[in-house]
């Protein structure tokens, strides 16, 4: 079978499994396309694949363990391994979503309870992402513990099985479940409140240290996205706005043409997370990058949003973060375990401003935090310059 035919069939297989186009492209197709570009219309074989890998990486990834690969190599290896497996067996391991819990039917009582809870979240004006997370979490719970047969033993068993998940994931899901338990008890859908089964641990705020990149590293990323990949003008304008103003990916995606006042050289952001209105002065560099994209690359369409895909569809927040994520992987920055999505640029802006002596209140205004305490508690721990001024001498032992 020709390589292009194999790639087309493997892509269709992933589509049939219910995966989104973005997931298919990012995790598989973009790697396969690069292979096809290099081997053209060659008949596919495992030897052809390993020869290509040897040439590209100067070592055979199939003869290495995952611990010996960097992140970029591992992602390529996973994609090529999947393609080879599909060639041999007609399927891709770990991609069947037919048994996904969210696709399984609930009992009528559980379905009604979930619908009532989602209507409740709508009234509270939860964001779409929060509602989706709540729906999936509660759906999994009700599959295991139907509301018409819910009891202590069943709930405890479900909570115990959550122990296999990451600690942060388990805690996040337990918060959602706890709110749901209170809701169904208040609505008299259960005769008892199961909240007491979820242990409450004391919350220590701001324990996490944000991932930060130096101005030099951010410049490397900017230059890479400016000169590589498709949609260079769009991607460069996006990363410049995030790096200079600390804008969240969701707010970049929601930026409208009407939000830009070219006469005054300003633009406004209504933050999706906090609904705080921000007005920024466009720097000359950012303004030129934005204008360059609008005039020379943006599709000619009546769409009201600034940043679009080539097919004129709205660019999502996930697409924004993914673009930056891939940029970090492919440029020469050594990530060293740091997170590398769009939010890391927001953290980097705040921390670099703090290091340069900018007032914490000004930083809070730039980021659009509702409270300056949020800024202070979150970023003070990475202000190494000023933390060193607080060091104490170790007394000599007497």
For 132-171, the pLDDT digits (tens) are 889 889 998 999 899 989 999 999 999 888 877 778 788 8
Q: Is residue 295 predicted with pLDDT exceeding 90?
A: yes
* Structure-token pair, residue 40: 């053209």
Reported as a single tens digit per residue, the pLDDT across 274-290 is: 888 889 999 999 999 99
Identify each DSSP E strand in the chain by its residue range: 260-261, 266-270, 277-281
pLDDT of residue 397: 55
pLDDT of residue 394: 52
Higher pLDDT, residue 64 or 48: 48
- Label residue 97 by pLDDT band (50, 70, 90): very low
pLDDT of residue 203: 54
For the chain, the average pLDDT equals 84
Q: Is residue 96 predicted with pLDDT exceeding 90?
A: no
Q: What are phi and psi of 246, to 5 degrees?
A: 70, 30
Q: Is residue 392 predicted with pLDDT exceeding 60?
A: no
**Domain locations along the chain:** 3-89, 101-197, 215-386
- Compute how many other C-beta atoms are within 10 angstroms of the C-beta atom of residue 287: 17
Please state which of the four CATH numbers 3.40.50.300, 1.10.443.10, 2.60.40.290, 1.10.3720.10 is assigned to the domain occupying 215-386: 1.10.443.10
Section 279-303 average pLDDT: 92
**CA dist 155 → 33, 142, 161, 178, 260 (Å):** 47, 10, 10, 11, 51
pLDDT of residue 388: 44
Q: Is residue 98 predicted with pLDDT exceeding 70?
A: no
d(CA 220, CA 217): 5
pLDDT of residue 103: 56
- Label residue 113 by pLDDT band (50, 70, 90): very high
- Label residue 377 by pLDDT band (50, 70, 90): low
pLDDT of residue 117: 93
Nearest-5° Cα angle at 57, 51 to 61: 70
Contact 73, 81 (CB under 8 A): no
Reported as a single tens digit per residue, the pLDDT across 308-333 is: 988 888 888 888 888 888 888 888 78
Contact 266, 279 (CB under 8 A): yes
d(CA 52, CA 156): 51
- Label residue 398 by pLDDT band (50, 70, 90): very low
pTM of the full predicted structure?
A: 0.54
CB half-sphere exposure, 295, CA atoms < 13 A? 6
Section 4-18 average pLDDT: 88
pLDDT of residue 350: 83
CA dihedral of residues 347, 349, 354, 356 (deg, nearest 10): 150
Q: Is residue 383 predicted with pLDDT exceeding 70?
A: no
- Residues above pLDDT 90, as percent of the chain: 29
- Label residue 264 by pLDDT band (50, 70, 90): very high
pLDDT of residue 240: 92
């Amino acid at each position: 079978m020709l390589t292009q035919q194999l790639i087309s069939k493997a892509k269709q297989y992933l589509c049939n499994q219910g995966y989104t186009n973005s997931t298919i492209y990012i995790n598989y197709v973009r790697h396969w396309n690069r292979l096809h570009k290099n081997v053209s219309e060659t008949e596919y074989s495992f030897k052809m694949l390993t020869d290509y890998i040897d040439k590209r990486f100067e070592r055979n990834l199939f003869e290495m363990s995952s611990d010996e690969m960097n992140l970029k190599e591992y992602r390529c290896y996973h994609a090529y391994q999947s393609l080879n497996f599909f060639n041999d067996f007609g399927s891709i391991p770990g991609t069947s979503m037919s048994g996904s819990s969210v696709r399984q039917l609930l009992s009528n009582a559980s379905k009604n309870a979930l619908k009532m809870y989602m209507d409740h979240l709508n009234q509270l004006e939860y964001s779409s992402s929060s509602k989706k997370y709540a729906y999936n979490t509660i759906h999994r719970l009700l599959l295991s513990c139907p509301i018409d047969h819910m009891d202590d033993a069943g709930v405890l068993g479900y909570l115990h099985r959550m122990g296999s998940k990451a600690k942060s994931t388990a805690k996040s899901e337990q918060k959602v479940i706890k709110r749901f338990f209170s809701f169904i008890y208040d609505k008299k859908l259960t005769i008892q409140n199961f909240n007491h089964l979820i242990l409450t641990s004391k919350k220590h705020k701001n324990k996490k240290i944000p991932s930060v990149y130096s101005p030099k590293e951010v410049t490397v990323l900017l230059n890479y996205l400016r000169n590589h990949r498709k949609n260079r003008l769009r991607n460069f304008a996006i990363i410049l706005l995030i790096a200079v103003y600390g804008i969240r990916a969701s707010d970049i995606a929601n930026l409208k043409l009407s939000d830009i006042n070219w006469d005054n050289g300003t633009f406004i952001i209504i933050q999706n997370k906090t609904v705080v209105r921000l007005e920024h002065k466009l720097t000359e560099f950012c303004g030129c990058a934005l204008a360059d994209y609008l005039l020379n690359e943006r599709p000619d369409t009546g769409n009201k949003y600034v940043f679009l895909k080539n097919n004129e569809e709205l660019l999502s927040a996930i697409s924004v973060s993914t673009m930056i994520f891939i940029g970090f992987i492919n440029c020469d920055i050594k990530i060293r375990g740091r997170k590398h999505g769009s939010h890391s640029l927001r953290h980097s802006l705040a921390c670099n401003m703090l290091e340069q002596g900018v007032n914490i209140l000004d930083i809070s205004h730039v980021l659009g935090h509702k409270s300056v305490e949020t800024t202070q508690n979150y970023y003070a721990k990475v202000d190494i310059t000023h933390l060193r001024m607080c060091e104490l001498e170790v007394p000599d032992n007497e």
